[in-house]
Amino acid sequence: MFKGSIPAVITPFVDNEVDYHSLVKVLNFLIDNGSHGLVPCGTTGESPTLSHEEHKKIIEETIRIADKRVPVIAGTGSNNTLEAVEYTAHAENSGADAALIVTPYYNKPTQSGLYEHFKTIADRTNIPIIIYNIPGRSIIDMTIETMIELSKINKIIGVKDATNDLFRPLITRKKMQNDFCYLSGEDGTALAYLAQGGHGCISVTANVAPKLCSELHSAWQDGNISKAQEINLKLSSLHNALFIESSPGPVKYAASLLGLCNKKTRLPLSEIKDDTKKLVKSCLEELQLL
């Protein structure tokens, strides 16, 4: 079972190339500050702009650098089922602990198409699979009924839920009644998601406040609810600031202020506005991270 604070890792760039030197710095910073896992090559890692070769190398490097200190959940999704199979098989062969697979974007498959997409990937690989349900980016929403059917496939073990519907995990758990991993995909409501039966959060904020994020989840797991609430309140302004503009623009700027990597994103994401920069910096200062 995956749990706790799991950063959706940013991909550093320099001169529009992947900056593997900074990637080492980022990953060690996250692990050394208590993160409970890593997710490379997700949306926060700008996976849509990575070449096949870059995508695979980042997965390999993350697994190598993590060196089994924390689990690695590799982002292997695509709106091309065969490409998702290829990425997932590569992650499996590279030693990833699980694969995070997004619902196919742009194509707008039916619920039947969603089921067959995930079933095909599961049938052709032997790695645990976590469904990434994010209607805001992929337009489609996997229904609870489809997720229940997919959960009957042994290799499909959980969900990253970015619907921001806090009633959903409760209803899903009641209907599913099996051992399924529930991970939030929304920093601002992650603590509330834990209260509804969640196990952790695949987090953007944890890229720049990994210690606070990991302490929040550890406090929750230890039953120290008041401490978790206190940390959550501290983080609330930063959670908000990191999504004022399209992620990962603000979080990469925050990472640059911390000296972790360059602030650059790849087009079509452009540099964030000066007002956003001021807000992000102010939030980091408020948390005494700068």
Sign of the dihedral through C-alpha 46, 121, 67, 6: positive
DSSP classification of residue 133: E
E-assigned strands of 40-140? 73-75, 98-102, 129-133
Query: Which residue matches tokens 């005494």?
Result: 288
Residue of 186, 86, 206 whose CA lies nearest to 137: 186
Residue 285: CB atoms within 10 A of its CB come to 11
Provide the pairing of β-strand 13-14 with 17-18: antiparallel
Q: What are phi and psi of 91, to 5 degrees?
A: -60, -40
Give the residue ranges of DSSP H helices in 111-180. Answer: 111-124, 135-138, 144-151, 168-176
- Sorted by sequence, the CB contacts under 8 Å of residue 91 that are 6+ apart come out as 59, 74, 76, 99, 127
Would you say 134 and 159 are in contact if contact means Cβ atoms under 8 Å apart? no
Q: Which positions are annotated as active-site residues?
A: 132, 160
Q: What are phi and psi of 43, to 5 degrees?
A: -60, -40
Chain mean position to CA 10: 10
